[in-house]
Amino acid sequence: MSRVLIIGAGGVGSVVAQKCAASPEVFSEIMLASRTKSKCDAIAALIKDRNIQTAQVDADSVPELVALFNEFKPELVINVALPYQDLTIMDACLETGVNYLDTANYEPKDEAKFEYSWQWAYQDKFKEKGLTAILGCGFDPGVTSIYTAYAAKHHFDEIHYLDIVDCNAGDHGKAFATNFNPEINIREVIQKGRYWENGQWVETEPHEIKQALNYPNIGPKNSYVIYHEELESLVKNFPTLKRARFWMTFGDEYLTHLRVIQNIGMASIEPIMYKGVEIVPLQFLKETLPKPEELADGYTGETSIGCRIKGIKDGKEKTYYVWNNCKHQDAFDDVSSQGVSYTTGVPAMLGAMMFLTGKWKKPGVYNVEEFNPDPFMELIGQYGLPWQEEINGDLEMKY
């Protein structure tokens, strides 16, 4: 029986709040906080049989966060706000003695740079306070890292090759929309690609490496190597990796929209003056696009996200593919969400449950693959994200 404070009232925050509310035996008291309290109130209204407290807070302000933490006294903060706000929330946790969990690594607002180094630097501070910080507990990062840890524990003596594959074969019916915060999403997918090979990072042009991969229940989809944050922690925690890559599917129309957005300067994060007011083009574009939580009703198709792994077991080569498929309609039927928010929010709830039930609790700052994957893997299916596996199948990769 524990108090949790959820920060962030977008599509993911809604999923986390509803899934936490469905497990009162673990989450005895819940508060949902955001810069806009009315968004929290709207989510709380969806939850009929639980009293969810709501609050307004500026997550950029450590003093505001500290005041809220001291008032509510949560055991754990689930941070599903913007990645820019990770460090202020971690600072407030240290000041008030609260444990921490997030779904995405910190990035500075003025630079599209995705690194765990800023958060890893908090290791000694959290350890000295006896507090746990769990990093990257969404789906990717999150479940994909737990899949990797599970494979390393049960299927391999050494993992040599890792390909994380992320396909959204859904149709939301919009000309152009992003499935999570547009500002974060567009920054992520237009950056240069990067993957790990033979002990070093290899940089590519955006979407330079392309391959049609087959996804279960979906079929072939054009997939592109991009850089994704979990690669940084996985190559550190699994040093036998010879190569680690992240693939994501994009439709041709989506990529055309991205090119136009870049070409006309709307993807820029450099401030400009407009009628005497300083604005950031990408932030302005975000306000014109559909909100991710507005895509849920009528969203068809499904996602397929997993890990394709090759390595050695008992001196022999072995391949292993573990994945989840999530239908957007199933997510909507459960918590009025679309699949991308759902696949991020459910693991965040379950990671919080792992901590609060003592299965993932140790002072310091840790990525999810540094915890025991077994209790998480045992439960993730019953909360809406069942997984499947294939041993010694064709991974469609060149080695």
* End position of a domain, from candidates 135, 155, 182: 135
Pick the last residue of a domain from 135, 151, 181.
135
Positive/negative CA dihedral, 76, 80, 86, 91: negative
Co-location of 104 and 29 in the same domain: yes
168 and 312, same domain (yes or no): yes
pLDDT at 381 over 70: yes
Domain annotation covers residue 344: no
Q: Which helix (H) or strand (E) holds 55?
A: strand 53-56
pLDDT above 90 coverage of the chain, percent: 82
Are 246 and 167 members of one domain?
Answer: yes
Q: Whole-angstrom Cα distance, residue 132 to residue 186?
A: 31
From residue 191, how far is each of 107, 137, 248, 295 by CA, in Å?
A: 13, 23, 13, 25
Short-list 363, 189, 365, CA closest to 267: 189
Is it the case that residue 198 has pLDDT exceeding 70?
Answer: yes
Residues 6+ apart with CB under 8 A from 275: none
Tokens, residue 265? 């300067």
* pLDDT for res 383: 98
Token duo for residue 359: 């299965």
Q: Note the pLDDT of residue 189.
A: 81
Q: Per residue in 148-189, pLDDT tens?
A: 999 999 999 999 999 999 999 999 988 888 887 777 788 788
For helices 182-189 and 252-263, the axis angle rounded to 10 degrees is 90
User: Cβ neighbours of residue 159 under 8 Å, at least 6 residues apart?
Assistant: 148, 151, 152, 238, 240, 241, 309, 310, 311
Same domain for 264 and 236, yes or no, is: yes
Is 158 found in the same domain as 84?
A: no
Give me the number of domains the chain comprises. Answer: 2
CB 324 within 8 A of CB 360: no
Report the chain's C-alpha Rg in angstroms. Answer: 20
Q: Does 155 map to a domain? A: yes
Is a pLDDT exceeding 80 seen at residue 317? yes
At a CB cut-off of 8 Å and minimum separation 6, what does 105 contact? Answer: 83, 86, 114, 115, 116, 118, 119, 135, 136, 141, 229
275 and 189, same structural domain? Answer: yes
Residue 199 has pLDDT above 80, yes or no: yes
Q: Domain span at residue 105?
A: 2-135
- Domain ends where: 135, 160, 182? 135
Residues constituting the chain: 399
**Residue-level pLDDT at 112:** 65
> What average pLDDT does the segment 366-385 reach?
98
Q: Do 94 and 158 belong to one domain?
A: no
Residue 163 to residue 12: CA distance in whole angstroms? 25
Helix (H, G, I), strand (E, B) or coil at 12: helix
User: Does 197 score more than 90 pLDDT?
Assistant: yes
Residue 130 belongs to domain with CATH number: 3.40.50.720
Query: Which residue from 201, 203, 196, 204 is spatially nearest to 241, judged by alpha carbons?
Result: 196
Residues 117 and 16 in one domain: yes
Residue 322 β-bridge partners: 307, 389
Residue 354 lies in a domain: no
Specify the DSSP class assigned to residue 139. T
| Sheet with strand 99-102: strands edge to edge | 53-56, 27-34, 2-7, 76-79, 99-102, 132-135, 364-367
1 pLDDT band, cuts 50/70/90, is: low
- Are 34 and 89 in the same domain? yes
Say whether both 166 and 252 belong to one domain. Answer: yes
Alpha-carbon distance 212 to 215, whole Å? 10
Question: Is residue 77 situated within a structural domain?
Answer: yes
Cβ contacts of residue 45 below 8 Å, gap of 6+? Answer: none
Residue 377 lies in a domain: no
Q: Report yes or no on 308 lying in a domain.
A: yes
Question: Do 247 and 149 have their domain in common?
Answer: yes
Q: Clarify whether residues 150 and 126 are in a common domain.
A: no
What CATH number does the domain containing 300 carry?
A: 3.30.360.10
Residue 373 belongs to some domain of the structure: no
139: pLDDT confidence band, cut at 50, 70 and 90?
Answer: very high
The DSSP bridge pattern shows strands 99-102 and 76-79 to be parallel
- pLDDT (0 to 100) of residue 186: 84
pTM to 2 decimals? 0.95
Token pair in block for residue 282: 């990408």
**φ/ψ of residue 328, rounded to 5:** -60, -35
Q: 320: helix, coil or strand?
A: strand
Local structure of residue 85 (DSSP, 8 states):
G
Is 366 part of a structural domain of the chain? no
Q: Compute the half-sphere exposure of residue 63: CA atoms within 13 Å on the CB side of its CA.
A: 0
Q: Which of 299, 367, 361, 366 is nearest to 331 (CA)?
A: 299
Segment 37-57 shows an average pLDDT of 95
